Chains A and B, each alone.
Chain A
């Protein structure tokens, strides 16, 4: 529940401050990521598969000379797989691995939705569903107008088990 504490702290310190989130659609729900982490948004293009990796890692692409891994968010959240269509986009994110290294990764989502200004006080800690629901990567829930936006903790999500390079060191 450290996330909840962090959110609560944010609330105290920056009561009037707002943060901008880019939101995207995934199986009918709206998710948000900190807009400062978004490097670019591009259409879905074919990827090069990487052998022996989980399904949700679609592969890697060439982003102007850098090799960038692409993660399918539906598969990551165990949602039903959807045929990629014209609205399917890749959001290229800058992910902090630790304070020094920043990695570039792309996530495939159904569609980009909107950019919202959300007062930090409006971000509520997500309710505890116990162990039945994996809320690990959810930073909190924000209310925008009538809608609810699920704010993601991308650093945590994109550095978890299968994506972390630590694993390879342990293996060696």
Chain B
């Protein structure tokens, strides 16, 4: 029986990375000094699975390395070793090394042997140091086999009774027995009494049990190791063999259980693609139900296909059918979207480690609070939001939270707090990164901006506008460029990345109290909540996320600055008016501001009022790229197809504003020709 195991390799890598994530988060949960046994157990199991898997796939470097780690954990689990801060640090480090090893192997790159060797040595050194609470360990280095306490006088009697479903979980008793055989001289006695008559037999069940007598030098742990994969799927009794008795069991060949070949087939099939998605079966079941409904509706409508003449009755049925079809389509759409939804904890889970490492490095004391981890968002959005989030958190750590002595002087607790919070708000997901640090220093930012020429000396800016300057390219007020941040290639990239996801990022801050960065993202990249607006014969879609309000113009609130740039006074704020027909060069119904509508939108902290002829409906639109067959157009982020099959263009607020800024220059010159269009 030969099986190409390479097809399972991808699954192994995926599972191993998951295992490493578990190890990491559990290690961070571990209280030094009073470690929870269950936590250690979880870590141990994860390490053990990686070791077992890597052994199976012949990745000996990983297996060897994990073995040492596992031994260390095993001693902790048995209470033979105290959980010290050093060992936790070391194990966290080894998680990193393992992750690097696995990803290097996955992409067939060379391993960093030096780093692995040095980390390996640190671990073995730690092991050989023994431990404060060790009772028995003398010279046992890096191997449980040296644990003399459990060593028996030459053998073990093993009662192995698998539960019937053992083989369904992909385990194979024969493999276990073969492994035992390698440890020493094995005698096997098969108990086949439980095998039912042929017509009752379930070929996937295991009806057999074994009495195994093993003559070996190996200790109990080693034998338990062999059964580690199945220890919750069988009754296992291991007793030392005091008198070495002779067993004459049946030939081992006879013990081959029925359906043994299935073990691999029952394993989860490996995914070929790098990016796979794990979907809960309930979601898939829902989908199947819905498709079923859809088929029923379709057949119902099909019956009407042959109707020659519509009467009252058939017409009613047709309407019913169409109404059902609409409902099913909507449900199907929502459910398909749900498949791509994942809880944001996938993006959050790296932060406990990051905060811990960085705060150590910076000598700060910081507590991280995570809330709303179960908030779901689209997988593609999740993948792209990771890096900006890391950047913002690093930033808060480095610039936001002050050193402990500064904090206590300011009357704040020495331990700073960073809060990551995620929640849904009207079709968007909002992620907040809140710190209770020093807040943004507006004077410093303004000075820096003036030095850099981003702002003219004479400009007066609001606090919000000043805070917004940190998102400008090449802007950093950090006095010292550190390893963590301060190179000024950051916040602008953060904003650009978030904007690429059709999202926004804003900051609010008060000196001495802290800063809050707020990221707003659409739940999915494929669908957008839009407000349809009409200008002349054209329909445009304005993303609902950026709309603050829409209003009718009162002419007394319109002012023309320097004759051409119009502003609208809205509750003590002056908002520039962008006439969409001017920017897009189309013929509108009206150029009279009072006859149309103003849509007030905000992006990047800048509000603009877009003048359109009419507001149409609000609806969800499917975003289609213009670039696939054409090119990027300034002021547009894409296109969509409306219910009547026509194409509507989706406005890009930031791009519009840039267009507007370009437009404003020539119109200043136009004033001479009376070009300033008045209400």
Q: Which residues of A pack against B, CB within 8 Å?
A: 46-53, 59-62, 65-69, 103-105, 163-165, 167-168, 171
Contacts and interface: CB of A to CB of B under 8 A. Distances in A.
A163 B624 CA distance: 18
A53 B626 CA distance: 13
A105 B632 CA distance: 15
B645 A60 contact: no
Nearest to B624: A67
A47 B647 CA distance: 8
Given A52-B633, A163-B631, A164-B631, A61 B624 contact: no
Interface in B592-646: 624-636, 639, 641, 645-646
Nearest to A50: B633
A66 B624 contact: yes
Nearest to B642: A62
Given A165-B627, A165-B631, A51 B641 contact: no
B648 interface: yes
Nearest to A164: B631
A111 B628 CA distance: 27
B346 interface: no
A50 B632 contact: no
Interface residues of B, number: 26
B630 A67 contact: yes
Contacts, number: 77
Contacts of A62: 641, 645-647
Q: Which 7 A-B pairs have the closest CB atoms?
A: A51-B584, A168-B632, A165-B631, A48-B647, A69-B630, A103-B629, A62-B641
A103 B659 CA distance: 27
Given A67-B625, A165-B632, 19 more contacts: A49-B586, A50-B636, A51-B586, A51-B635, A60-B639, A65-B641, A66-B628, A66-B629, A67-B624, A67-B626, A67-B628, A67-B629, A67-B639, A69-B629, A103-B629, A165-B630, A168-B632, A168-B633, A168-B634
A51 B633 contact: yes
Nearest to A162: B631
A51 B585 contact: yes
B647 A61 contact: yes
A171 B658 CA distance: 12
A7 B627 CA distance: 32
B627 A51 contact: no
A61 B629 CA distance: 11
A168 B625 CA distance: 14
A81 B134 CA distance: 95
A104 B627 CA distance: 11
A140 B583 CA distance: 41
B628 A60 contact: no
Contacts of A168: 627, 631-634
B401 to A, nearest CB: 35
28 contacts: A47-B647, A48-B639, A48-B646, A50-B636, A51-B583, A51-B585, A51-B586, A51-B633, A51-B635, A51-B636, A51-B649, A52-B584, A52-B585, A52-B635, A53-B633, A59-B647, A60-B630, A62-B641, A62-B645, A62-B646, A66-B628, A67-B629, A67-B641, A165-B630, A165-B631, A167-B631, A168-B627, A171-B634
